Amino acid sequence: MKHFGYYERGEDMDFIIYFAICICAVAFFAVYIGKTVKKYKQNETEKMKPTEDVNEIKSEFTTIKTKAKVIDLTCRVEMVGVKTPKTVEIFTVVFETDDKEIIEINTSQEMYEGFEKGQYGELTLADGELYSFII
């Protein structure tokens, strides 16, 4: 039947059009989700890659050797954390070099117990950490 120059569509034709639109929408979302998952997996594998060469071991340290005297030993307790705070013991040994430079180094309790005020000897630092102290 003609209606103002156009053929009338029946209910079957409306169903086919809606069905085609739904199929296109599902296909679009399937492609979008597939690309999103692929991008996510690529990001995760990039995060897992080591930033440095694992086989390369740092064999050279920046070392400083100087004559120094133990001028102070301090031990303190600090609270660390917000939601679940805990106390941490910090042991510090203070050295004075021959050039009147003050060096404060945090050590473990075992190393801390080996020092006494007034000891004088050769202090060796490796990358800013205490390496040795020979009296």
- Specify the pTM: 0.53
What's the confidence (pLDDT) of residue 62?
A: 84
Distance CA 109, CA 89 (A): 9
pLDDT band at 8 (very low <50, low <70, confident <90, very high): low
What's the confidence (pLDDT) of residue 63?
A: 87
pLDDT tens figures, 59-115: 677 888 999 999 999 999 999 888 899 999 999 999 999 999 999 999 989 989 999
